[in-house]
């Protein structure tokens, strides 16, 4: 029989064994629960998104970097793309103002230069010379001065125009129908120092004994007729000189100016050539007129209009014959020296 005194001693020795059994039971129950229940996985780190290169020409908006917790790829903010810049539409230049147009010039008003001459910047000899006109050249008339003594024509100068003296050209058409052109202001006079001794005025050298003056044309559909008068510088009629009429395929000499025993009805200083009707078709076109001295022998016995013996005393003046409005050409000449040295000085007078 166990005494009451022995019971506490037994409890003291049994308590550690009891605690060991309880611990062993808890461990076994844990192992059994782990082998039969569902598996639980620990959370893994979310992978970072991979980088895709940005297409060329597309820019991105940079957001300021803030300290924040990492987010998953599914929660990452979308990429913000700037729109491509659109070039500004260029502003069209202002329209160029239209240049003022000149007054219309009647069609067909032209001039043909009869002798070498100056072309000036305005209607007068006080204007500067811009160039020269050569005999035979033709150009269009685009204006005139008030009295028509100077004509504004197309000329390859700085502004494409020039002024010429009307008496030295042949006008085709009606110059009065051309509008009056505004003349440029005349140049200021140049101050010339007065010399202590005035030198003698040089006499200009005359290159040709005869020069043309006072030319014009009229119409006659049935004839081609060249005619005119020859005078000296004082206005006296000059006899004894012929005019060569030549188109480079056919030529003829006029009877010397004034009357001879061959043509006693001619007036002093007069000359003329009529193209025969059978050659009328060849009379239209360009001709050259030249004053010559007739030198074929035995003139008073026989006059030969086809004579090839002569001396040229003027330049060749080119002139156009237009059928039917300009078939009668009046061409006057002026003699500068030896005006009495022709075949005869006084016209022939038939004895009464």
Q: Is residue 310 part of a domain?
A: yes
What per-residue confidence (pLDDT) applies to 324? 84
Do 151 and 169 contact (CB within 8 A), yes or no?
Answer: yes
Q: Is residue 40 part of a domain?
A: no
Are 239 and 297 members of one domain? yes
Q: Is residue 245 part of a domain?
A: yes
Are 223 and 150 members of one domain? no
Q: Is residue 276 part of a domain?
A: yes
CATH number at residue 277: 2.60.40.10
Q: Is residue 78 part of a domain?
A: no
Q: Is residue 330 part of a domain?
A: yes
What per-residue confidence (pLDDT) applies to 219? 87
What per-residue confidence (pLDDT) applies to 284? 79
Are 227 and 303 members of one domain? yes
Q: CA 273, 278, 284 angle in degrees (round to 5)?
A: 65
What per-residue confidence (pLDDT) applies to 51? 43
Q: Is residue 12 part of a domain?
A: no
pLDDT < 50: residue spans in the chain? 1-2, 28, 32-44, 46, 48-52, 54-84, 97-105
Are 256 and 149 members of one domain? no
What per-residue confidence (pLDDT) applies to 264? 92
pTM of the model: 0.44
Give the number of other CB atoms < 10 A from CB of residue 100: 5
Comparing CA positions, the residue from 109, 214, 105, 106 lying closest to residue 165 is 214
Per-residue pLDDT reduced to its tens digit, 17-62 = 666 665 555 554 555 444 444 444 444 454 544 444 544 443 333 3
Q: Is residue 53 part of a domain?
A: no
Are 222 and 315 members of one domain? yes
* Distance from C-alpha of 29 to C-alpha of 43, rounded to nearest angstrom: 26
Total number of domains constituting the chain: 2
Are 166 and 233 members of one domain? no
What per-residue confidence (pLDDT) applies to 339? 96
CATH number at residue 125: 2.30.30.40
**Which of the 8 DSSP states describes residue 55?**
P
Are 309 and 229 members of one domain? yes
Per-residue pLDDT reduced to its tens digit, 248-303 = 888 999 999 999 999 999 999 999 999 876 555 557 788 999 999 999 999 999 99
Range of the domain at 163: 110-177
Are 328 and 228 members of one domain? yes
For 277, counting Cβ atoms within 10 Å of its Cβ (0-12 exposed, 13-18 middle, 19+ buried), the class is exposed
* Distance from C-alpha of 135 to C-alpha of 215, rounded to nearest angstrom: 13
Are 214 and 324 members of one domain? yes
What per-residue confidence (pLDDT) applies to 16? 61
What per-residue confidence (pLDDT) applies to 157? 81
What per-residue confidence (pLDDT) applies to 37? 47
Residue given tokens 């003699």 in the structure block: 335
């Amino acid at each position: 029989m166990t005494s009451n005194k022995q019971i506490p001693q037994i409890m003291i020795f049994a308590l550690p064994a009891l605690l060991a059994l309880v611990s062993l039971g808890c461990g076994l129950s844990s192992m059994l629960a782990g082998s039969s229940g569902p598996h639980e996985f620990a959370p893994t780190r979310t992978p970072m998104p991979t980088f895709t290169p940005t297409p060329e020409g597309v820019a991105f908006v940079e957001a300021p970097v803030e300290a924040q917790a990492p987010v998953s790829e599914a929660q990452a903010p979308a990429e913000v793309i700037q729109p491509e810049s659109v070039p500004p539409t260029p502003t069209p230049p202002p329209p160029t103002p239209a240049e003022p147009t000149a007054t219309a010039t009647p069609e067909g008003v032209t001039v043909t230069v009869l002798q070498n001459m100056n072309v000036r910047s305005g209607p007068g000899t006080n204007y500067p010379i811009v160039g020269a006109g050569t005999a035979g050249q033709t150009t269009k008339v685009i204006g005139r001065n008030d009295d028509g003594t100077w004509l504004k024509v197309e000329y390859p100068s700085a502004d494409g125009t020039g002024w010429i003296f009307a008496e030295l050209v042949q006008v085709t058409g009606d110059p009065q129908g051309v509008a009056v052109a505004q003349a440029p202001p005349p140049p200021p006079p140049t101050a010339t120092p007065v010399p202590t001794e005035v030198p003698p005025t040089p006499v200009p050298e005359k290159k040709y004994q005869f020069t043309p003056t006072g030319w014009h044309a009229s119409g006659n559909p049935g004839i081609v007729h060249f005619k005119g008068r020859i005078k000296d510088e004082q206005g006296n009629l000059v006899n004894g000189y012929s005019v060569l009429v030549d188109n480079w395929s056919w030529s003829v000499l006029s009877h010397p100016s004034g009357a001879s025993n061959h043509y006693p009805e001619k007036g002093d200083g007069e000359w003329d050539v009529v193209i025969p009707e059978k050659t009328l078709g060849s009379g239209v076109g360009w001709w050259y007129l030249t004053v010559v001295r007739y030198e074929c022998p035995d003139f008073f016995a026989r006059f030969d209009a086809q004579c090839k013996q002569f001396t040229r005393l003027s330049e060749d003046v080119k002139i156009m014959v237009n059928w039917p409005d300009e078939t009668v050409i009046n061409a006057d000449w002026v003699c500068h020296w030896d005006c009495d040295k022709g075949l005869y000085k006084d016209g022939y007078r038939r004895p009464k």
